[in-house]
Every structure is written in structure tokens, then in C-alpha cells.
Amino acid sequence: MKHPLLILLLGLCIGLALFPLLNRSSSNTSAVSTSIETSRRNAIVRAIEDVAPAVVSINTVYDRNYPRYRDHFFEPFEPFSDRRRIPGIGSGFVIQTDGYILTSSHVVDGAKEIFVIFPDGRGFDVLDVFIDRQWDLAVVQIDADSLYVPEIGTSENVIIGEWAIALGNPFGLHFEDLNPTVTVGVISAVDRIVRPEQNERAYKGMIQTDASINPGNSGGPLVNSLGRVIGVNSFIFSQGGSLGIGFAVPIDRAIQVACQLIDQGSREFWTGLDIHNLNPHIARTLGVLTIKGALITVVDPLSPGESAGLLPGDVIVMVNDKNTSSADDVVDAFRYAAVGDIFNLKILRGQGRVFDAQLVLEADPRNNE
């Protein structure tokens, strides 16, 4: 009888000795779980939660004419046009509580129908569209108030290497879940000068990021880890997919342009000119005595350029008493221009004739289409 009692007492002592250790182990496990859960809700997650409610899907419809031909066995062989309605999609985000949304101009430019969808399922027809093609920016207005606006940061203190979060809502009505898509990377460079296609004008001061900017995310916000908007997603360098090189318009510039559009409407002007850079080969072919300046390649009929007496082959060497070395310099000179502004040009024609021309900017006829 003594041995079983002794064994029972020994077991009780061991249990009392081990209990604190077991309890401590359980506490440690609980602490680790809490730590993991806390680490999951990191700065990026919080930033996304702060901005996502303001990110919208912008659904568009375009009319496109496609050439078709009748069957010449049954009808005369005459070309005719087949008009089709082509859907488009992009993103944007709220910048004012009273219904103003910022996006990229290429998302909405020329669209016949525009419909905005919020993550909570609310949908709105667009009342008005204001476009600035110079900066690839647009503002669309909807009939809404008390909208949620994310915190707008500044692009002045963007740090190379800091987190960059690209948000967009490219699926709209195609998915039942209307929440934005998110990609994360870092700021790769700032103040980039980017020319998306050869012979196209350059975009200056762009933010470069390796956060994937998918086509449907154009117009959405680029956000830092503090949940502040620092840019407007614009375009990527692509060869059939993302190469990890995306670009955003700095938010300081975007908000400045947006406020001008809201206050003054679209300031899009028309010159009727196409310009390109000169190079030695083109200069020799045209018999031009310089490779500095902007070569005029097209002058539209009845345009301000034609009224100014300009011809294809002319070279713009000075704008408002400032020398121009390239087509980009000319674009920069017109960067903040508006309808009605007058520009004094110095033109080189042929092998040495230099003359002055006065170019009066007119409203862009595309705004009335």
C-alpha cells in the first residue's frame, strides 16, 4: 500500500513542477500567433485599406468603323464601313467629394459612353469629361456627393527604393468582386524622361516603378506605404506583357492639371502641326542646314499652322525668342498653352531662308466629336 501512495505523491510533485513550463509554452505559442497575425497586417495592407474605397472601374464604349466589302458576285464591289461598338476599361480614383474622379486621358478620350463603378457596387453615368492630352490626364464628373477621398501625398519627397503600390479596378462588371487589384514593387527612379514610342513626344518628370501596371490599371493611383497617393498610373514598357517597367504621372502635377480642368474646362488647343526631331540624314535629304530644331512633317488644311503660312519641311528653330534644339523643346514651350494664346515662331525654310510666323492656337476640334 505504501508504494502506490508513494508513486501518486511523486506524480503529483512532478505535475506541479511541470505546470509552469507547460503554461509558459502555451503562452509562447499564443504570443507567436499574435505576432504573426500582427505582421500580416503590415504597412502595405493598411495603405491598401486606406485607398481602395476610392478606386473605381471606368467602363467605356467606343464606336469604330471597319472597312468591309460586299460580295462582288452578288452586288457591286463597293467598299462600305461597318461600325462596331468596342468596349474599353480602365481605372481612376476620387479626388473631390462632390463627384470628380482623376484618370488617364487615354482611358476616356473619344469614348461615346463612360460608366463608373465603385468597389461597393454603386454605378454612375459620367456627366462631363475634361481632358489634357499633353499630360495624359483626364477628370470625369459624376452626380454624387460625400465621396471618400484618399490622402493625397506629394511626389516631391518620393524616395528611390521605397515601397510602391499600384491599385486599379480593371474588371468592373466582369467580376462579382469589385474590389481593386493590387501590385506591389518599389520606386525604381524619379524624374524620368520617357518616350513610349519612337518619334512620339516625351513625357518628362515621370515616376518609374516595378509594380506591375496592367493595361486596365491605367488611371489608378500609385501609393506609398503611408497610404498616400504619389502618382497616377499611366503606361508600361511592354512586349506582350509587363517588363517590370511602369510609369506614373507625379501627383503634384496631376492635381495641378486636374484643378485647372475642373475650374476652366478642357484647355486642349490645336495647331494642326506634326513635328519630329531632325537628324543628319533627314537634314541632308531635305537640304536643311541644321540638325537643331523641330521639323514640321504635316500641316493640316484650315489649321492654325496653315493660317501661319507654315509648310511641311519647315524647321522651327525658335519659339517666343527661345532657341529650340528638338521637337521636345517645342512641346515644352507649348506645355501650359491655352486656346487663344499667340506664339511667335522663327522658321527655317530650305537652305537658308529664315522668317517669322505667328501661330494663334485654336480649340481642338476633337473635343467636339
> Could you read off the pLDDT of 269-321 as tens digits, one per residue?
889 898 888 888 888 888 888 888 899 999 999 999 999 999 999 999 999 99
Percentage of residues in the chain having pLDDT higher than 70: 76
**What residues does 299 pair with on adjacent strands?**
273
Which conformational region is residue 110 in: left (phi greater than 0), alpha (psi within -120 to 50 degrees), or beta? left
| Interacting residues of 176 by C-beta distance below 8 A, sequence separation 6+ | none
List, for residues 100-122, the tens digit of each pLDDT value. 999 999 999 889 999 999 998 89
Per-domain residue ranges of the chain:
51-142, 151-264, 269-368
Percentage of residues in the chain having pLDDT higher than 90: 45
Quickly state the pLDDT bin for 12 (edges 50, 70, 90): low
Range of weakest confidence among 62-66, 341-345, 359-363: 62-66
What pLDDT is recorded for position 15? 59
Parallel/antiparallel/unpaired status of strands 163-168 and 221-223: antiparallel
Q: How many angstroms separate the CA atoms of 329 and 315, rounded?
A: 13
Range of weakest confidence among 15-24, 55-64, 225-234: 15-24
DSSP 272: -
Please say whether the beta carbons of 162 and 179 come within 8 A: no
**Whether the predicted model's global pTM rises above the 0.75 cut:** no
- Which CATH code of 1.10.3720.10, 3.40.1410.10, 2.40.10.10, 3.40.50.880 fits the domain covering 151-264? 2.40.10.10
Residue 36 has which C-alpha cell?
Answer: 504573426
For the chain, give the mean pLDDT.
83
Residue with cell 501518486: 8
Residue with cell 527661345: 322
Element (H, E) at 122: none
Report whether pLDDT(6) > 70. no
Span 51-142: which CATH code? 2.40.10.10
What pLDDT is recorded for position 127? 94
Quickly state the pLDDT bin for 204 (edges 50, 70, 90): confident
What's the average model confidence in pLDDT over 345-356? 89
CA separation (Å) from 64 to 71, 84, 85, 114, 351? 22, 5, 6, 16, 43
Query: Of 193, 197, 202, whose CA–CA distance to 330 is shortest?
Result: 202
Helices (H), the chain: 2-40, 43-51, 105-108, 251-264, 280-286, 304-307, 327-333
Positions annotated as catalytic residues are 106, 136, 218
List, for residues 223-279, the tens digit of each pLDDT value. 999 999 999 998 876 655 555 688 999 999 999 999 989 988 776 788 989 888 888
Same fold, 51-142 and 269-368: no
Range of weakest confidence among 36-40, 150-154, 270-274, 350-354: 36-40
What pLDDT is recorded for position 74? 45
* Domain 269-368 in this protein, CATH class: mainly beta
Q: Which residue has the higher pLDDT, 200 or 119?
A: 119
